[in-house]
Structure 1
Amino acid sequence: MEAGLPPRMAACMSGRMVDKLTLAQLRKLQSLASLRRAEMADITLDVFLHNIRALEDSDIFVVTSKAAISCSL
């Protein structure tokens, strides 16, 4: 939610991601919260995944993308 996703989507995704990412990777994801503070409206999933790719960690991108797809269906 702090990265700009709607609460329902964030809750769904976090449940799918927490056991698949390391603590260090989860902390990288946490760094996206600063982006949310800069913009008060909910961001699109496209923008969110673009920001995930910018973290330059393929595992984070794959796990997050799969969770996003599963939770959006």
Structure 2
Amino acid sequence: MLRQAQHERILLGGLIIALVAACSPSKLAYGQVKSAMMDAGLSEANSACMAERMTDRLTLSQLNKLKQLKGEKRGLMDYVAAVRRVGDTEAIEVTATSAALCASGLAREKRY
């Protein structure tokens, strides 16, 4: 009985590790990134689309910098301008392309 319980715990531990490995840390941040973008004034649709793209392409550190962009309600171009002030070239590129693709409806993430 004790061996079976130990075996089950080992299997459960392995399953948890596999599930955590399957979910990238940045994907776990999706909800927070989407909320932060909505707080920054973006629409829910654009926030969802952009958060999907950005969490696939940026590190947690980069995403945390962008989550700090709160303030007056702003549109997409104002948001991109605010990201430029962060000074992270990759974050700027990903944000700008995500904004353009999501706003135009060309992002595959927008089609879901």
Partner of 2:63, secondary structure, is: helix
Query: Which residue of the other structure, out of 41, 58, 76, is the alignment partner of 1:4?
Result: 41
Q: RMSD of aligned C-alpha atoms?
A: 1.0
Unaligned stretches of 5+ residues in structure 1: none
Matched residue pairs, number? 67
Q: Does 1:64 align with 2:101?
A: no
- Cα distance in 2 for partners of 1:14, 1:69 equals 13
Q: CA deviation at 1:51?
A: 0.2
Equivalent positions of 1:15-54 (< 5 A) are 15-33=52-70, 35=71, 39=72, 42-54=73-85
Displaced runs of 4+ in structure 1, greater than 3 A? none
In terms of fraction of residues, the more helix-rich structure is 2
Unaligned stretches of 5+ residues in structure 2: 1-37, 105-112
Bigger Rg, which one? 2
Give the percent of matched residue pairs that are identical in Structure 1 and Structure 2. Answer: 39
- Cα distance in 1 for partners of 2:102, 2:43 equals 12
* TM-score when normalising by structure 2: 0.57
